[in-house]
Amino acid sequence: MKKSKFSDSQIIETLKRAERGVTVPELCRELGISSATFYKWRSKYGGMDASLMARMKELEAENARLKKMYIEEKLKAEIVAEALAKKW
């Protein structure tokens, strides 16, 4: 996945500025982002603070790691089952 050029604190600050009344087109123009990016940030991170955002990213990374482990173990089990089927 592509790394964002904006830090978590910058994203949260941008969302808070929008809540305080700064218009979305003005924020987007200032940051050089599209309005779609802004609304994606708002749907994903709206109402969060920096600690919650960091925790969510930790959980996403852990989830990805666990999915990868599951796939590897499933592949090993299929190889063993295939080998046992060929022996008999």
pLDDT (tens digit per residue) in 17-50: 999 999 999 999 999 999 999 999 999 888 888 7
Same domain for 29 and 67, yes or no, is: no
Same domain for 15 and 44, yes or no, is: yes
Q: Which residue has the tokens 């989830």?
A: 63
Residue 56 lies in a domain: no
Is pLDDT at 12 greater than 70 in this prediction? yes
pLDDT at 65: 97
Q: What is the value of pTM for the model shown?
A: 0.61
Cα separation, 9 vs 14, whole angstroms: 9
Cβ pair 30, 57 in contact under 8 A = no
CA 68 to chain centre: 16
Domain range enclosing 18: 1-48
Same domain for 16 and 40, yes or no, is: yes
As for how many domains the chain has, the answer is: 2
